[in-house]
Structure 1
């Protein structure tokens, strides 16, 4: 029998990732034959890790922090989403050695917010916290939902401004008020606050002050697990709903799986199973 096709997730850190469990379940439910691993790359070793995967016959990979910008730069071709974001979370390793980059983060985030949390984004006021690869990957799909306004905030204002500038044309086409602000002096109130920073992974607490989330609004941390709890508590303390990024993880994985295999897996079923398995300590 032929060897199973090889895929992986590359990141630093990566031991926490549930992606191997998700993709194994996708494969089982869709009749695909593959293996999926975690690959820890040194902070300065993404290109070498990608080359090693290709040398083993790897067919593709997911990319997590802090390598999403590097993933886009390593590709020979890229989707429109990647070209706009300057960041990629999904790579397709083709038999001729070419690498194609895509970004399914925003697709996963929007699907989990709109379908999972039941929050329609049209006409809403949104706050996106962070301006790194994670934020870059979701900004365009959020704009396509046509919120009323979208504020990008970051400790380094120049990074937020650069991200906003890249998306200014799309925002104008969607008639969305898009602007940037640093986290110092941040004010206003929002229907949705998205934490796209690595604060939850780093145990650095909540990256924004209280008072920003409207009562009944949604605080969404793109991370999941114990590290996200501070942000979820922050949202609930303001009378808001709280949701971690596990649904986004499954939804973006489903989009990547479909890109690799040409088959759409049942994301909602796998998310339900994953939450149950994590609660039981089995995933």
Structure 2
């Protein structure tokens, strides 16, 4: 039988910090771990996943743009993956893939535990309706945010996510063109890919969305998060948070699912954060 190993699937995926994060978790937990990056296009994803299982793959993380495609590969889904309509964590058992989505739990844990944000009652704007947005929306509602307004450049996707959440009095969609007339929010979450590549134009957002209590959160980290967080600073948002902490916390959820242990996330978060903070101080 092939040796068991783990991987992160994405396209592209060379930038992923997941191998470093899971390697640190494994070392601290005394677990021998083989964790790799696998670049798979949407067209090749299911074939690549089959090869991965045949070669000994027993667990995988899934990132952009494959999270929604991963749903179809699963025989079972957790409730949070079903609600999200997207999978970021796969576990192989009894010859089948089982899907979970740890993004929302990772985001809420980062915001509430690491950054001490009280999410309850916050009027919240969710920018985007793809796999990342679908992963965090149910968790934000469960964490107690007030009104959740979903805006996407493709309005049909925003409508679909709003319908899937099943809370019409609390979660609803609006048109991107209406952003300037939506009023202000206590929490703004950017779940779009804007700024991630030359093919994704930067967001153009009105400052009327913010007030002096607003927390601005980008699910991206590194260079991709710079444009939105710069907008948030210019708009006077009280708090600006990138997606690095969420990345670490969702990885910890996956690690616990696969290995039965929840790792301490603070050491690897501090290690990853240090060079970014130094770079920000220099610039």
Aligned to 1:155: 153
Q: What secondary structure, in the 3-state scheme, does the structure 2 residue paired with 1:215 have?
A: coil
- Is this contact kept in 2: 1:82–1:102, CA < 8 A? yes
Cα deviation for residue 3 of structure 1 reads 8.1
Count of residues in Structure 1 that have an aligned counterpart in Structure 2? 274
The 5 Å alignment of 1:14-33 reads 14-33=13-32
Distance, in Å, in 2 between the alignment partners of 1:27 and 1:154 is 38
Q: Deviations over 1:184-222 (max 9, x none)?
A: 121211111111011132252125333212223111110
Runs of 4+ in 1 over 4 A off after TM superposition: 277-281
Query: Which one of 173, 192, 200 corresponds to residue 180 of structure 1?
Result: 173
Unaligned runs of 5+ in 2: none
- Is this contact kept in 2: 1:4–1:35, CA < 8 A? no
Aligned to 2:194: 199
Unaligned runs of 5+ in 1: none
Distance, in Å, in 1 between the alignment partners of 2:194 and 2:278 is 26
- Is this contact kept in 2: 1:127–1:194, CA < 8 A? yes
The 5 Å alignment of 1:26-41 reads 26-41=25-40
Structure 1 residues 120 and 47, CA gap change in structure 2 (3 angstroms): same
Aligned to 2:127: 129
Q: What secondary structure, in the 3-state scheme, does the structure 1 residue paired with 2:64 have?
A: coil
The 5 Å alignment of 1:1-283 reads 5-94=4-93, 96-168=94-166, 171=167, 177-186=170-179, 187-203=182-198, 204-206=201-203, 208-240=205-237, 241-276=239-274
Q: Deviations over 1:114-165 (max 9, x none)?
A: 1222211111111110011111111111101122211010111111111111
Q: What secondary structure, in the 3-state scheme, does the structure 2 residue paired with 1:124 have?
A: coil
Q: What secondary structure, in the 3-state scheme, does the structure 2 residue paired with 1:202 have?
A: coil
Cα deviation for residue 280 of structure 1 reads 7.5
Cα deviation for residue 181 of structure 1 reads 0.7
Distance, in Å, in 1 between the alignment partners of 2:71 and 2:34 is 24
TM-score by length of structure 1 reads: 0.92
- Is this contact kept in 2: 1:183–1:208, CA < 8 A? no
Distance, in Å, in 2 between the alignment partners of 1:130 and 1:280 is 30
Cα deviation for residue 250 of structure 1 reads 0.1
